[in-house]
Amino acid sequence: MADVKKHNTPMVDELKGGSWPSFVDDIEQKGLKGKQECLDLLGQLELSYEHKETHWKHGGIVGVFGYGGGVIGRYSDVPEKFPSIAHFHTIRLNQPSSKFYNSDFLRKMCDMWDHRGSGMTNLHGSTGDIVLLGTKTDELEPIFYDCTHQLGADLGGSGSNLRTPSCCVGKARCEYSCLDTQDICNDLTQTYQDELHRPAFPYKFKFKVSGCPNDCVAAIARSDCAIIGTWKDDIRIDQAAVQAYIGGELKPNAGAHSDRDWGPFDIQKEVIDLCPTNCMWMEGKELKIDNRECTRCMHCINVMPAALRPGVETGATILVGAKAPILEGAQLATLAIPFIRMESPYDELKDFVEKVWDWWMEEGKNRERFGELIQRQSIQEFLRRTGLKPIPQMVKEPRSNPYVFWSADEVEGGWERDVKAFRARHAA
């Protein structure tokens, strides 16, 4: 084995102590087994801790043949000190829906990455991809070949294209899920391979799928198109289980508060009074819900999961246009479609998505997120382009200013008028 050179890293070494898993220890152990990249990375990090500035150069375009995304170029600005990380590119590998793995896949991936990369990863990046950190330009094609042939895995997205869609654990393990989140995520990913790999958009576009309004993958905050499960019929109630919660045999919120004494469970205070719409009440020993008034916030179901379940007429609420603050400020996604049935192959959803993309590709400015286009050109334009009907569910409240953009064809007689005729009625 080649000699490995450990750098003096007193500050970074401080992060080996404490209880939380230490990335420093992990990386150093790997380095001491022969991966110079790991030791150089810690060395460069120490330099950043001294200078309080990053030592990675800006960008650098690299990629694999025929793909416009999935690889992010990275170069050290102190390569003479840390030569093994002079190039340190990132590979984004598209993760399987909801991130289950078997050990065989993981080992193959590790072997590949030890052979062709630094042995360091992010599992996972914030967008969802398996992020493999640190390789050189001439390894990119072999890595791509190994991934597609041996792992059956393809690159994810980066740049101005569809980003890797992601989803919550859904029906695989969660009784709340109103959607087959894995299938939707996988279907969209497969359907839109071209959009994922070949940038044609003004900027990034993200799909995220959560099975219920708890929104465990933060779709409403981070995705240009959030697909969130919901139901149209009534919350299912098991009255015997309601009594079991009241009697203390079942723990509220599935035991989420077990380390503190909050007193005995009080259904009035903890469920009925916290219902944001006041649509629940007790009638003798029966819990009643006026489901027409329920906004499906999930609180009562979260508190008494064994007694309450979402209804069975399920589908998704679609919200669009969330983004982090750059440039026009942060946006949460805006409700576009209150309810859409979600059965494979999801044609109705795809039809909507393609109208969204057509509009955005035609009118979006360079680096303008979809939510910003809506802000710039208006919700009304969004509705026209997608053929959606305006409904009160789209707003918190109606507007408070009367500055309406009427168009010529909406007012009697149109905009063409005769100023002479006007003056004939009114002296100047």
Using CB under 8 A, which of 83, 248, 329, 414 touches other proteins? 329
Q: CB nearer to ligand SF4: give 228 or 336.
A: 228
Identify the DSSP state of 280: E
Closest CA to 137 of 81, 75, 76, 77: 75
Residue 99 beta carbon to ligand SF4: minimum distance, rounded to whole angstroms: 12
Q: Which residues share a beta bridge with 318? A: 227, 337
143 binds ligand SF4 (CB under 6 A): no
Q: Which residues share a beta bridge with 71? A: 91
332 binds other proteins (CB under 8 A): yes
Phi then psi dihedrals of residue 317, to 5 deg: -100, 135
Q: How is residue 312 written in tokens? A: 């069975």
Using CB under 6 A, which of 97, 214, 314, 317 touches ligand SF4? 214
Q: How is residue 108 written in tokens? A: 């193959």
243 binds other proteins (CB under 8 A): no
Residues 214-233 that bind other proteins (CB under 8 A): 214-218, 220-222
**Distance between alpha carbon 83 and the CA centroid of its chain, in Å?**
36
Question: x/- string (CB under 8 A) for other proteins, residues 169-188?
Answer: x-xxxxx-x--x-x---x--
Looking up tokens 């009440």 gives 281
Residue 396 beta carbon to ligand SF4: minimum distance, rounded to whole angstroms: 16
Using CB under 6 A, which of 276, 387, 398, 413 touches ligand SF4? 276
Q: 9 near 43, Cβ under 8 Å?
A: yes
Size of the site for ligand SF4 (CB under 6 A): 26
Buried-state track 89-128, b at ≥16 Cβ within 10 A, e below 16 = bbbbbbbebbeeeeeeeeebbeebbeebbbbbbeebbebb
Residue 275 beta carbon to other proteins: minimum distance, rounded to whole angstroms: 8
Residues 60-89 that bind other proteins (CB under 8 A): 65-67, 74, 88
Please give the residue ranges that form the binding site for ligand HEM (CB under 6 A).
Answer: 98, 122, 125-127, 131, 168-169, 173-174, 206, 214, 216-217, 222, 254, 302, 324, 326, 401-402
176 binds ligand SF4 (CB under 6 A): yes
Whole-number CA gyration radius for the chain: 27
The amino acid at 189: T
12 binds ligand SF4 (CB under 6 A): no
Residues 295-314 that bind ligand SF4 (CB under 6 A): 295-301
Closest CA to 334 of 372, 387, 291: 372
213 binds other proteins (CB under 8 A): yes
Using CB under 8 A, which of 5, 257, 288, 423 touches other proteins? 257
37 binds ligand SF4 (CB under 6 A): no
Q: How is residue 345 written in tokens? A: 């192959």
345 binds other proteins (CB under 8 A): no
Q: Which residue is nearest to ligand SF4 (CB)?
A: 211
Looking up tokens 């009035």 gives 268
> Sign (positive/negative) of CA torsion 155, 358, 186, 98?
positive
36 binds other proteins (CB under 8 A): no
Q: 77 near 56, Cβ under 8 Å?
A: yes
Using CB under 6 A, which of 190, 277, 378, 380 touches ligand SF4? 277
37's contact among other proteins, ligand SF4, ligand HEM, none, with CB below 5 to 8 A by partner kind, is none
Instruction: Select from 206-214, 360-368, 383-391, 396-404 the region that touches ligand SF4 (CB under 6 A).
Output: 206-214
CA distances, 15 to each of 37, 151, 256 (Å): 19, 34, 31
Q: CB nearer to other proteins: give 80 or 259.
A: 259
The amino acid at 352: F
Closest CA to 155 of 226, 90, 200: 90
Q: How is residue 423 written in tokens? A: 């003056």
Residue 257 beta carbon to ligand HEM: minimum distance, rounded to whole angstroms: 11
334 binds other proteins (CB under 8 A): no
Q: How is residue 322 written in tokens? A: 């969330």
194's contact among ligand HEM, other proteins, ligand SF4, none, with CB below 5 to 8 A by partner kind, is other proteins
| Binding stretches for ligand SF4 (CB under 6 A) | 168-170, 174, 176-177, 210-212, 214-216, 275-277, 279-280, 289, 294-301
